[in-house]
A and B are shown apart, each in its own frame.
Chain A
Amino acid sequence: MRTMVVWCPDWSVTAGLLELADGRDEDDPPHDVAAPAVVLANNRVVVCNATARAEGVRRGQRRRDAQARCPDVVLLPASPDRDARWFEPVLAAVEEVRPGVAPLRPGLMALPAPGRFFARGGVGGEEAAAAVLAEHLVDAGVWDCRFGAADDLYAAERAARRADPQGCLVVPAGGSAEFLRGLPVTVLADDGPEGAELADLLRRLGLVLLGDFAALSPASVSNRFGAYGVEVWRRVQGEEVTRLASRTPPPELACEISFEPPLDSAEAVTFSVRTTAERFVAGLSERQLVATGVRIEAEFEDGVSARTWLHPRCFTSRDLVDRVHWQLQAGMASSGLRSRKSTGETITSPVTLVRFLPDTVEPAGAHVDGLWGGGADDQVVRGVARVQAMVGYDAVRVPVRQGGRGPADRQALVPWGERPVGLRPVDRPWPGRLPGPAPSRVFAEAPEAEVVDEAGVVVAVTDRGRVTGEPWRFRVGVHWHPVAAWAGPWPVDESWWLGPGSGGRAARFQVVGVDGRAWLLRWRSAGGWEVEGAYD
């Protein structure tokens, strides 16, 4: 089987720029996706894009060297999560055209080469297929994608890395070995530090091309270059058999039933698909699988209705029958058809076929209820992923504690699935923080408040940390409350080093109203009173 590899060069940079462009407001100037940009880890350039490379920025450079060569370079932090997240729509775009895509790593995917499909206008074969895929990817916003096709995965990847933007380099059948032997050994550097070391060693030994390396005997390669050397040697022979781990299930799990003569009522259809649904679930369970997403296709005499249904846990045959019923009812309402039961009419376009296709399958073991509990964590992960699909990736958070003085500083909400980074340690003393019970409500954007003394003059705090008057009444929102008890001030002066507008001199007060509700108020020398939290 021929393999095609799709490579998006400098994917970390592309993903970072896409995220920047995504987070921007509409009235900001549009972001330039071709701007020079680098991804930094430990203050060194890990990946840079072509524009930056043209200015002399190189991998491994220090940040200030990169900025010296190209002052307007966009600096992006390294984030494997972000790269994977932004690669997902690219995978989906390719899957639309060619199912069975195997993601290798962010920026790189493999698929069974589509061969003679997509032939049009004299151009056939893999080049035409690559052109169709390139068109799709450019529509999805990825303009730099390169394609390579070969007999085995390694040769295809190497071909993709030598292709032009949006171009395809096809290694003819049986030509993998010849193609690989013509490559310089420096291409091994793409494998990581191990590869770079081997490439350097081979170069110093006078082996310039991979072909020179492939000509060595396997025994001496194993002796001199170890396991990694043997792996490279086997790859450059070009005879490796590729098995792609596709993320879509094989099609033989699909089940269908056709109706002859066509059925004209939703009830009759749902009754008849029952055995097919049972066969579908049984077929999956024979392989120890369950479906959590199923695509149901119904063919009418004059059209098709297809929909993907997701299940919070996994589909049983009864669930599937329900989904068919819902889909037919919905589909029929839009196409002028009615369920016989609800209206007494016969539906006008009879159903000829119903097909179940597994969309997402998961091991059955992960979905059983344990008698002693357990297995819950996996279920939670799946459930939360469903919520993320509904409301967006960063709408689901995990609360984390961190060090700080104010209650808002002492907490962080990390997007679900990301590792918290850059948190302040909790176990330091943090002098100036408030002891005792913490406020149960902490406002992200502190609403403004007002505190006055008996004479109605706004209370303030002097440079020496003294209160100018005794708090008598306070206002939170629109309502004024008399003060029953108060404590404070706890003065702090922090974050002034971050520049104007952030931090500065402030003092915290705990104020209890006569209704028994307690508030945490903050006075700022720059901005007056505000509500930080409530002991609700």
Chain B
Amino acid sequence: MFEHGPVSVHPLESLDAAELVDHLRGRIQALQGGPTRLAVPTHPVLEGLVQLRTGGVYAVDSASLGMALAAGASRAGEWVGFAGWDDFGVEAAHQWGIDLSRTVLVPAPGEHWLEVTAALVDVLKVVVLRPPGQVDAKSASILDARLRARAGVLVVQGDWPRCELRLSAERSTWLGIGAGRGRLRERHVELVARGGGRVPARAEVVLGDGEVA
């Protein structure tokens, strides 16, 4: 009945009538329990490189990228969570634009990390997980099933058996710092997004100069 095409989500006011109808159709489908892949807002820095969709698992290789992926949803007013982050940089998260009052942090879930993540995925839009060590396919499929049932996104910092997209930072350069002079100001990173059976997408981006974006 409904087409299963991509549905974009932006603040509703900015949509024209046709897009609004599409968006609402997606939501109705989600309420009826049908398969949906709603788009989740992404931070402007990553636009064009990665588009989060509910039910997906995304892998990143650094803490900043994990925060960046959560930041888009948080800026749009969603709840986000971080599990297994015992070294969470609160100020960095704030600089990414993550709303700390809508952030749940489980620094050390220990052996219960799978159950904790499953419970967080139930209620939060984006959960960023740093799993302890190797993850087997069975644990991964438990979380996959939970993600599909609920409209959540899982971002994993580390390895994951099957993921939609793997975002990694290659060749990073810091500007503003010399030999005993200046300070860290800007970071130029070449981001590579692999996965989804496509040619890896590359983009040169500039990550934060410390201002709240």
Cα A283 to Cα B183 with chains together (Å): 66
Q: State the CA gap A10–B177 with chains docked (Å).
A: 59
Residue ID in chain A nearest B66 by CB atoms = A440
Task: Decide: A371 and B123 in contact? CB cutoff 8 A.
Answer: no
Q: Which residue on chain A has the smallest CB distance to residue B12?
A: A372
A438-460 vs B, CB cutoff 8 Å, 1 = contact: the mask equals 11111110000000000000000
Cα-based distance from A383 to B101 in the complex (angstroms)? 16
Q: Cα distance A205–B112 when bound, in Å?
A: 64
Is B75 an interface position by the 8 A CB rule? no
Q: Which residues from chain A contact B62 at a C-beta distance below 8 Å?
A: 440, 536
Query: For residue A536, which residues in chain B have a CB less than 8 angstroms away from its CB?
Result: 62-64
Instruction: Find out whether the CB atom of B210 lies under 8 angstroms from the CB atom of A401.
Output: no
Q: Measured between alpha carbons, how far is A396 from B116 in the docked complex, in Å? A: 10
Q: Within 8 Å of chain A (Cβ to Cβ): is B148?
A: no
Is there an interface contact between A438 and B110, defined as CB atoms closer than 8 Å?
no
Inter-subunit contact A411/B90 (CB<8 Å): yes
Q: Considering the complex, which residues of chain A in the window 409-436 have a beta carbon less than 8 Å from any beta carbon of chain B?
A: 410-413, 416, 434-436
At the interface, yes or no: A138 with Cβ under 8 Å from chain B?
no
A interface, by DSSP: helix, strand, loop or mixed? mixed
Chain B residues contacting A362 (CB-CB under 8 Å) are: none
A380 CA to B77 CA, complexed, in Å: 13
A386-B119, A397-B107 as given contacts; A436 in contact with B176, CB under 8 Å: yes
Cβ contact within 8 Å between B124 and A380: yes
Question: Does A312 contact B119, Cβ atoms closer than 8 Å?
Answer: yes
For residue B56, CB closer than 8 A to chain A, the reply is no
Given the complex, which residues of A lie within 8 Å of B95, measured CB to CB?
437-438
Contact across chains for B180 and A486 when beta carbons are under 8 A apart: yes
A535 nearest CB neighbor, chain B only: B184
Task: Judge whether A487 is part of the interface by a CB distance below 8 angstroms.
Answer: yes
Q: In this complex, what residue of B is CB-closest to A485?
A: B177
Q: Is the CB of B105 within 8 A of A398?
A: yes
Number of interface residues of B (CB under 8 A): 58
The proximity string for B residues 78-109 relative to A, scoring 1 for CB distances below 8 Å and 0 otherwise, is 11000000111111111100001101111111
Contact A398 B107 (CB under 8 A): no
Residues of A within 8 A of B87 (CB): 441-444, 533-534
- Inter-chain CA distance A410–B86, complex, in Å, is 16
A399 and B105 form a contact (CB under 8 A): yes
B28 close to A435 (CB less than 8 A): no
Give the Cβ gap from B69 to chain A, nearest Cβ, in Å.
13
Q: Which residue of A lies closest to B67 (CB)?
A: A440
Contact A395 B108 (CB under 8 A): yes
A401/B94 in contact, CB under 8 A:
yes
The smallest C-beta distance from A185 to any residue of chain B, in angstroms, reads 47
CB within 8 Å for A312 and B109 given contacts A399-B103, A441-B87: no
A268 an interface residue at 8 Å Cβ cutoff?
Answer: no
- Interface stretch (choices A103-111, A141-149, A511-519): A511-519
Chain B residues whose CB sits within 8 angstroms of the CB of A382 once the complex forms = 123
User: Is A53 an interface residue when CB atoms closer than 8 A count as contact?
Assistant: no
Q: Which of B24, B89, B208 contacts A411 (CB 8 A)?
A: B89
Name the B residues within 8 Å of A399 (CB-CB): 88, 90, 93, 100, 103, 105
Contact residues, B175-193 vs A (CB, 8 A): 176-185, 187
A window 464-502: CB within 8 A of B = 467, 470, 485-488
Contacts of B67 in A (CB 8 A): 440
Contact present for B187 and A391 (CB under 8 Å) = no
Determine if B178 and A434 form an interchain contact, defined as CB atoms under 8 angstroms apart: no
Asked if B204 is at the interface of the complex by the 8 Å CB criterion, the answer is no
Given known contacts A376-B79, A437-B92, A510-B177, A416 and B104 CB-to-CB distance under 8 angstroms: yes
For the residues of B in contact with A, the DSSP-based class is: mixed
A383 adjacent to B89 (CB under 8 Å): no
B171: CB under 8 A from chain A? yes
Instruction: Decide yes or no whether A28 CB sits under 8 A from chain B.
Output: no
* Distance between Cα atoms of A371 and B94 in the complex (Å): 30
Q: Is B40 an interface residue (CB 8 A)?
A: no
Instruction: Report how far A440 CA is from B130 CA in the complex, Å.
Output: 14
**Interface residue A54 (Cβ < 8 Å from any Cβ of B):** no
A512–B177 Cα gap in the complex (Å)? 9
Which partner residue on chain B sits nearest A443 by CB separation?
B87
A214 smallest CB distance to B (angstroms): 51
Q: In the bound complex, what is the Cα–Cα distance between A396 and B178 (angstroms)?
A: 40
The listed residue (B109, B207, B210) touching A435 by CB distance below 8 A is B210
Q: A436-B183, A437-B187 are in contact. Are A390 and B89 (CB under 8 A)?
A: no
* Chain B residues in 8 Å Cβ range of A377: 79
A371 to B123, CA, bound (A): 16
Q: Does A379 contact B (CB under 8 A)?
A: yes
CA distance A435 to B185 in the complex (A): 9
Q: Is the CB of A437 within 8 A of B208?
A: yes
A442 adjacent to B101 (CB under 8 Å) = no
Tell whether A384 is near chain B: CB-to-CB under 8 Å: yes
Q: Does A58 contact B (CB under 8 A)?
A: no
A437-B95, A470-B180, A485-B174 given; A442·B64 CB < 8 A: no
B174 touches A379 (CB 8 A): no
Contact of B172 among A441, A487, A510, A516 (CB under 8 A): A516
A2 within 8 A of B: no
Give A197 to B31 CA distance when docked, in angstroms. 57
Q: Does B162 contact A (CB under 8 A)?
A: no
Q: Does B120 contact A (CB under 8 A)?
A: yes
Residues of the B chain whose Cβ atoms lie less than 8 Å from the Cβ of A68: none
Is B106 within 8 A of A396, CB to CB? yes
Chain B residues whose CB sits within 8 angstroms of the CB of A517 once the complex forms: 172
Closest partner residue, chain B, to A439 (CB atom):
B89
- A444 vs B78: C-alpha distance when bound (angstroms): 28
The 23 sampled A-B contact pairs (Cβ below 8 Å) are A312-B119, A376-B78, A384-B123, A386-B119, A387-B104, A387-B119, A391-B109, A396-B104, A411-B89, A413-B90, A416-B104, A436-B183, A436-B209, A438-B89, A438-B92, A438-B94, A438-B210, A439-B91, A439-B92, A440-B64, A440-B93, A533-B89, A534-B63
Q: Which 7 A-B pairs have the closest CB atoms?
A: A383-B123, A411-B90, A438-B91, A516-B172, A440-B92, A440-B63, A436-B210
